[in-house]
Amino acid sequence: MSEYGKLLFKIRVHPTLWFVIGVAILTAHFVEVLMLLLIVFIHEMGHAVCAQRFKWRIKSIQLLPFGGAVETEEYGNKSLKEDLAVVLAGPLQHVWLIGAAFLLYFFSFISLELYQPFLYMNLMLLAFNLLPIWPLDGGRLLFIGISLYCTFLEAQKHTLHFSAAFAVVAFLTWLILDPLNLNIWLIVFFISLSLVMEWRQRYYAFIRFLLQRHYGHTNDLAKLKPILVDSQEPIYKVLELFQRGCKHPVIIMKNGKESGSLDETEILHAYFSEKMTNGKIGDLLYSY
């Protein structure tokens, strides 16, 4: 079996989707739920196939009522080109799906009763997934954009703060307009849980980001960005200044003068291999 065929064995159906399927069957909306499953499946396979093409390590492909999530073992060390391609590969599937549906309807292969809900679902899923809310595709695009100008930790924090604020406004608006819509309540629950979990695990993601740099699991870094720090700065504080897409030579200052410099690989080695988790950055000048 090809590497792309193996992706099918990584598909997981989220409990909320099973719930929606059950409700659809009980309310005689079986055709609509089949269309939804097809659209969600193609959307997520767009992400997954693109990620596989770039040799990303894919853990699972979750299918949800309003989209899904491709879980990978990549933590911010891939190139901007790859990140953008993988994120946009999902929404772009709706473009050809809408085009194909129009042609089928135009040439009378499908009825208006099938074409209209299929078009509506595609447009709604496309618009929803592009909202700037983590972990939606729009939220991931927001993180990519912010990380171009901020450290990894700051980009995480700003993305989650903005996502939470935008989500509150969006959800309150939706709930005021349609408070009895069960799908909206499911979305509110899932997004809220995702944001809380991502906030609690942000340092775990940061450590994975550093570990991948330590073990060399990075693409060619785009630019050189020196970091100036005082010799008494803790090593972990220096690591918190690391930014995705940048190679960091660290210049160490003492009494206002440069006392030496270190490559980021030396600092990562000291932190992870030599367990100097509480050491000062200046101490490393005498170790190398």
Per-10-residue mean pLDDT of the chain, 288 residues long, equals: 78 81 78 88 93 89 80 78 92 96 93 94 93 94 94 96 94 84 80 92 92 77 83 92 90 85 90 86 76
260 in the same domain as 185: no
pTM of the model: 0.88
- Do 227 and 206 share a structural domain? no
**Do residues 122 and 35 both lie within one domain?**
yes
Do 233 and 150 share a domain, yes or no?
A: no
**Do 13 and 92 fall into the same domain?**
yes
**CATH code at position 282:** 3.10.580.10
Beta sheet of 58-64, edge-to-edge order: 11-13, 58-64, 67-72
35 near 122, Cβ under 8 Å? no
Please give the helix or strand (H or E) that residue 157 lies within, else none: helix 152-177
Domain co-membership, 127 together with 255 = no
Please tell me whether residues 18 and 55 are part of one structural domain.
yes
Q: What is the pLDDT of residue 276?
A: 84
Is the domain of 144 the same as that of 200?
yes
Query: Do residues 119 and 38 share a domain?
Result: yes
Last residue of a domain, one of 163, 179, 212: 212
Task: Give 91's contacts (C-beta < 8 A, 6+ positions apart).
Answer: 43, 126, 129, 130, 137
Residue 85's pLDDT is 94
Looking at the structure, do residues 176 and 243 belong to the same domain, yes or no? no
In the listed set 155, 179, 212, which residue is the last one of a domain according to the structure? 212
* Phi, psi dihedral angles at 280 (to 5 degrees): -95, 150
Q: What is the pLDDT of residue 259?
A: 85
Contact 242, 77 (CB under 8 A): no
Single-letter code of the amino acid located at 128: F
| 44 catalytically annotated | yes
Domain that holds residue 258: 221-286
* Of the residues 212, 240, 260, the one at which a domain ends: 212
Q: Are 37 and 14 in contact (CB under 8 A)?
A: no
Query: Catalytic pick from 3, 44, 74, 154?
Result: 44
Say whether both 226 and 123 belong to one domain.
no
* 72 closest CA partner among 61, 64, 81: 61
- What single letter denotes the amino acid at residue 133? I
Environment class of residue 195 by beta-carbon count within 10 Å: exposed (0-12), middle (13-18) or buried (19+)?
A: buried
Nearest CA among 224, 76, 239 for reference residue 143: 76
Among 117, 74, 118, smallest CA distance to 98 is for 118
Number of independent structural domains in the chain: 2
Residue with tokens 């990380």: 147
**Separation CA 269–CA 267 (nearest Å):** 5
Write down the pLDDT at residue 180: 79
- At residue 236, the pLDDT reads 92
Is residue 84 domain-shared with residue 183, that is, in the same domain? yes
